[in-house]
Chains A and B, each alone.
Chain A
Amino acid sequence: MREVVIDPITRLEGHGKIVIVLDDAGSCSRAYMQVPELRGFERFVQGRPAEDMPQITSRICGVCPMAHHMASTKALDDLYKVAPPESSKKIRELAYNIFMLEDHALHVYILGGPDFIVGPTAPKAERNVLGVIQKVGLEVGKKVISTRRRLREANARIVGKAIHPVFGVAGGVSKPVSHDDLEDVKAVAKDGLDFALFTLKVFKDLVLSRKDYVDLITSEAYTHRTYYMGLMDEKNRVNFYDGKIRVVSPKGVQFAKFDVHEYQEHIAEHVEPWTYIKFPFLKSIGWNDFVDGEKSGIFSVAPLARLNAADAMATPNAQTAYEEMFRTLGGKPVHHTLANHWARVVEMVYAAERIQELVTDGDLLTDKVRNIPTALPSTGIGVVEAPRGTLIHHYETDEHGVIRKANMLVATQHNAARIALSVDKAAKAFVKGTEVNDGMLNMVEMAFRAYDPCHACGTHSLPGSMPFEVQFYDERGNLLGVRRRGV
């Protein structure tokens, strides 16, 4: 038996590696992903004032600071038992959707895009953002970058700082939106929707028109029949900012719908000795090892899971795109991991349309943006849909609002078990023989890159240096050889 170690996973936040165990015939008998960093964030924040949490948590991850900021801000609302004014809820949702649009665009074009836009079997040297630019053209590349920058600048007008927002406070936001700010955001909102619809067209033209790509998306190697989770509004439509958590079964039937305060009644965590990441599962079903199906408590979050968990989208163009996706892929739920890329584009359209709805809402131009908290703090729980899936912040404090305990359930954790399934299945499908070429390895990486996992969040630690190494072992653990990539 030989062991192949792919370390690290390129183009992902955080340090992870894949171990592929080969049998004597050279076929994969088991594959799994390791996340070697220690969790430390919960301990780091003990003894700090809870009101600092939106700023501290936004620094965990360089990719989705807004998601942590917003989940943390909502946890503060709950901690101090103060509901924000409707206007500030809308301001928060506006800023949040701008962030979602920008972040999804980053993934579509820069992180996940190379797999499909350039091609899954293209040489590694071409499977990067420059390869994407070559494929879509220079002008499109410039459009991607300029639109993304304008979205960030627009958001900075609302949240203070585009990278690490400073606007979320218990009971509201720290400043109203001015008339000038809103006019700026309106201009960007229109371009944002054009950009999202354009991206949908790019996806159709470059990906869906290719039979081999569609075959890959729908192939059994990238398919798992799991439960799906997402935050939904009262009509079971996707909402990134607020709502209840809905879970649907592998057959698409509602399994649970609950307020985030009840999350511990529905979600438990399984521990494995070979990784620091924990594997959440549905408590009422239980942990039944790394298998899919209705009898396995493994569930998934992220764009595809959200769309699977929803009955509809809340905006017209997103609804059309949502219907087309499910119609093309055989109806709901879609179990093909790689369909996450398509679902992400559908969500870009939703985010852009929701931004347009919000910027035309007169409520935004009000000075009443905060209700001052008066209650003594004890426990606060907040939830949002991060780009990568459901994100929960849970704080417990003393009577002075000093953190005694903090727990964060991040999207990559929620997805960890399904990612493990994906890696195992893809490796078994694509790794054959002792000659593991770059294309094979990329097919395995694609299995988890579709989730856009973020291990800095999942382990709450920043990654170290990231050399890429493939190690070959025999069944007795002897190193047979080493193959390096990018070292």
Chain B
Amino acid sequence: MGGKNAAIFIGNSIFGDDRIGLIVGSILREKLEELDFDVHVIESTGFTLLDYLEGYERAVIVDSVCSERNPVGQVLSLSLEAFSSVKSGAPHFSGVPEAVELMRGLGSGLPHVFIVGINVRDPYHLSDEISDELKCTVGAISKEVYVRIRDLARTEIAACNCA
């Protein structure tokens, strides 16, 4: 995979399951750097994401999603539109899709953006612990997230921009 690639793990460390992105990002940092990814593990979303997306050709964003239709711990590949519909807890409701839309509007180096969601039970209430279901499966989740990102790296992505 040529060009500059970013893996951006998002979460909030005091909102229970919402920290799963941070945990998985820490676990996978080294392995992803070996795949030539710049790894960002951040506790912010919204327009701050612009600072992390700009300058890359491809970006994989890993975040918690909350969908009752899927089992807790399931790893999902999502389009920006699908991501928007399952979670909008971003600052001032300006989340990933809005940040990408803004970059597109500005005509500034928009990367191909891929979303990997980790389905969680409760990312909305104050807790510094993740739920038991996630605790038991965090290893498997990390492995699955890694596989998704690695496969993206092996695939010709240009035609697959989820946006």
B-binding residues in A (CB < 8 A)? 10-13, 40-41, 44, 56, 59-63, 106, 110-111, 128-130, 133, 138, 141-142, 145, 148-149, 152-153, 163-164, 460-466
Distance A11 CA – B91 CA, assembled complex (angstroms):
8
Distance of B149 from chain A, by nearest CB (Å): 23
Given A12-B93, A56-B14, A61-B91, residue A163 in contact with residue B43 (CB < 8 A): yes
Within 8 A of A (CB), among B14-30: 14-15, 18
B42 adjacent to chain A (CB < 8 Å): yes
Contact residues in B for A464 (Cβ distance below 8 Å): 66, 89, 124
Distance A461 CA – B18 CA, assembled complex (angstroms):
13
Other than A61-B91, A462-B12, A463-B124, give 10 A-B pairs with Cβ distance below 8 A. Answer: A11-B93, A60-B14, A62-B90, A110-B47, A130-B101, A145-B50, A145-B108, A164-B44, A465-B88, A466-B88
A-B contact count (CB 8 A): 98
Contact residues in A for B98 (Cβ distance below 8 Å): 128-129
Given A59-B14, A163-B42, A164-B43, residue A465 in contact with residue B102 (CB < 8 A): no
Contact residues in A for B102 (Cβ distance below 8 Å): 129-130, 133, 145
Instruction: Say yes or no: A462 contacts B15, CB within 8 Å.
Output: yes
Task: Please give me the 6 A-B residue pairs with the lowest Cβ-Cβ distance, nearest first.
Answer: A62-B91, A44-B126, A130-B105, A163-B44, A466-B88, A63-B91
Within 8 A of A (CB), among B26-69: 42-48, 50-51, 66
B154 adjacent to chain A (CB < 8 Å): no
Instruction: Say yes or no: A462 contacts B123, CB within 8 Å.
Output: yes
Instruction: Say yes or no: B124 contacts A141, CB within 8 Å.
Output: no
B3 adjacent to chain A (CB < 8 Å): no
A-binding residues in B (CB < 8 A)? 12-15, 18, 42-48, 50-51, 66, 86-94, 98, 101-102, 105-108, 123-127
- Minimum CB distance partner of B18 in chain A: A462
Instruction: Say yes or no: B124 contacts A461, CB within 8 Å.
Output: yes
Instruction: Say yes or no: A13 contacts B91, CB within 8 Å.
Output: yes
Instruction: Say yes or no: A133 contacts B124, CB within 8 Å.
Output: no
Instruction: Say yes or no: B46 contacts A62, CB within 8 Å.
Output: yes
- Minimum CB distance partner of B67 in chain A: A465
Instruction: Say yes or no: B51 contacts A11, CB within 8 Å.
Output: no
From A60, A142, A152, A461, B125 is in contact (CB under 8 Å) with A461
Given A10-B93, A12-B92, A110-B94, residue A465 in contact with residue B101 (CB < 8 A): no
Given A138-B107, A142-B108, A462-B124, residue A59 in contact with residue B66 (CB < 8 A): no
Instruction: Say yes or no: B45 contacts A62, CB within 8 Å.
Output: yes
Distance A128 CA – B89 CA, assembled complex (angstroms):
18
Instruction: Say yes or no: B106 contacts A460, CB within 8 Å.
Output: no
Distance of A25 from chain B, by nearest CB (Å): 34
- Minimum CB distance partner of A487 in chain B: B85
A-B contact pairs, 30 of them (CB 8 A): A10-B93, A12-B92, A12-B93, A13-B92, A40-B126, A61-B91, A62-B45, A62-B46, A106-B47, A106-B92, A110-B47, A111-B92, A128-B98, A129-B98, A133-B105, A138-B106, A141-B105, A142-B106, A145-B50, A461-B125, A462-B12, A462-B18, A462-B125, A463-B88, A463-B89, A464-B66, A465-B66, A465-B86, A465-B88, A466-B93
Instruction: Say yes or no: A11 contacts B94, CB within 8 Å.
Output: yes
Contact residues in B for A164 (Cβ distance below 8 Å): 43-44
Contact residues in A for B94 (Cβ distance below 8 Å): 11, 110, 129
Distance of A149 from chain B, by nearest CB (Å): 6
Which of B18, B66, B91, B124 is most buried by chain A, counting CB atoms within 10 A of its CB? B91
Instruction: Say yes or no: B92 contacts A462, CB within 8 Å.
Output: no
Distance A63 CA – B94 CA, assembled complex (angstroms):
11
- Minimum CB distance partner of B126 in chain A: A44
Distance A130 CA – B98 CA, assembled complex (angstroms):
10
Given A163-B42, A163-B48, residue A129 in contact with residue B126 (CB < 8 A): no
Distance of B47 from chain A, by nearest CB (Å): 7
Distance A364 CA – B41 CA, assembled complex (angstroms):
31
Contact residues in B for A461 (Cβ distance below 8 Å): 124-126
Contact residues in B for A463 (Cβ distance below 8 Å): 88-89, 93, 124
Distance of A24 from chain B, by nearest CB (Å): 35
Distance A40 CA – B126 CA, assembled complex (angstroms):
7
Contact residues in A for B101 (Cβ distance below 8 Å): 129-130
Distance A14 CA – B73 CA, assembled complex (angstroms):
25
Distance of A441 from chain B, by nearest CB (Å): 16
Contact residues in B for A462 (Cβ distance below 8 Å): 12, 15, 18, 89, 123-125
